């Protein structure tokens, strides 16, 4: 999705960072997007429960709920656990045993 379309749907972001890849923060919505000039939006990160759900899992849910939904992570990197869903991947981070962020991205 092009940045123009993102702005039309979500309105202006509360902040934008980056040169080639743009990080758009929507604080009031509890989400952040990463956009590439060639691929459009390549990552959506939910940082609050109210931001929405990924396949029924929300920020604040127990890690056990994510594992019950998606099985064991296919990869683990530092605080992130990655779950390959075929055409998209979800990465989550945890605080204790609760999901603290959910990120959705499409592999290249």
Count of CB atoms situated within 10 Å of the CB of 61 = 18
Per-residue pLDDT of the chain (108 residues; tens, 9 = 90+): 577 788 889 999 999 999 999 999 999 999 999 998 888 899 999 999 999 999 999 999 999 999 999 999 999 988 899 999 888 899 999 988 899 999 999 777
Predicted TM-score of the model (pTM):
0.88
**What pLDDT, on the 0 to 100 scale, is given for residue 37?**
86
């Amino acid at each position: 999705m092009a940045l123009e379309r993102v702005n039309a749907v979500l309105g202006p972001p509360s902040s934008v960072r980056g040169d080639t890849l743009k990080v758009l923060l929507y604080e009031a919505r509890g989400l952040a997007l990463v956009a590439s000039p060639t691929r459009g939006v390549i990552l959506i990160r939910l940082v609050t429960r109210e931001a929405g759900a990924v396949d029924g899992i929300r920020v604040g849910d127990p890690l056990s709920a994510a594992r019950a939904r998606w099985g064991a992570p296919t990869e683990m990197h530092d605080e992130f656990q990655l779950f390959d869903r075929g055409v998209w991947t979800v990465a989550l981070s945890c605080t204790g045993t609760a999901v603290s962020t959910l990120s959705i991205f499409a592999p290249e």
